[in-house]
């Protein structure tokens, strides 16, 4: 943004200030963006306006027959029937061999040469460092 100043002067009649020529001078000017007016009344930073959004409660299926025959919530289309569940032998074999167990929380069972071991070491070190910073935060001030 620039401010335009008009300097006018006369050589013949300075007392009457009759402009004979005009110069425009551009002076650079920095400014911040204008703050919004906020809500009605022009108040900025109204209390309670920035809270978290409310969670939407989705309806829960309670019919046992529908739960046994269909996979509720899997259909991503707005309209149409729910996805029907098939017999176990109609699904591929690899689906039943997937590892669904949670990984071990300790480092004792892992090999020190594996990437997972060092990833968890780094993760635990960061968590410990955050806990120490939180504990000693009151002494920093």
CB 69 within 8 A of CB 84: yes
CB 10 within 8 A of CB 20: yes
Which residues touch 27 (CB under 8 Å, ≥6 apart)?
2, 3, 5
Residues 27-38 have pLDDT tens digits of 777 777 666 555
48 pLDDT exceeds 80? no
**Whole-angstrom distance, CA of residue 75 vs CA of residue 60:** 15
pLDDT band at 123, cuts 50/70/90?
very high
105 pLDDT exceeds 50? yes
Q: pLDDT: is 46 or 131 the higher one? A: 131
Which residues touch 3 (CB under 8 Å, ≥6 apart)?
26, 27, 29
User: Domain residues of the chain, as ranges?
Assistant: 107-133
Mean pLDDT (the chain) is 75
122 pLDDT exceeds 90? yes
Q: Report the greatest alpha carbon distance in the chain.
A: 106
**Whole-angstrom distance, CA of residue 47 vs CA of residue 45:** 6
Across the range 127-139, mean pLDDT stands at: 85
Specify the pLDDT at position 17.
54
pLDDT band at 127, cuts 50/70/90?
very high
Local structure of 43: helix, strand or coil: coil
Task: Give which of 9, 35, 4, 31 is closest to 20, Cα–Cα.
Answer: 9
Read off the pTM: 0.33
Across the range 12-27, mean pLDDT stands at: 57
Specify the pLDDT at position 124.
92
């Amino acid at each position: 943004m620039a401010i335009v100043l008009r300097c006018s002067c006369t050589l013949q009649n300075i007392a009457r200030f009759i402009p004979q020529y005009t110069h425009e001078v551009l002076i650079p000017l920095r400014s911040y963006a204008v703050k919004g007016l906020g809500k009605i009344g022009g108040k900025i930073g109204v209390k309670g306006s920035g809270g978290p959004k409310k969670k939407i409660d989705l309806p829960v299926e309670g019919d046992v027959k529908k739960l046994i025959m269909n996979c509720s919530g899997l259909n991503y289309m707005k309209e149409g029937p729910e996805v029907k569940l098939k017999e176990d032998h109609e699904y591929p074999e690899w689906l039943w061999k997937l590892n669904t167990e949670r990984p071990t929380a300790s480092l004792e069972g892992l090999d020190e040469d594996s990437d997972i071991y060092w990833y968890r070491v780094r993760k635990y070190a960061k968590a410990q460092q955050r806990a120490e910073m939180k504990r000693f935060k009151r002494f920093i001030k």
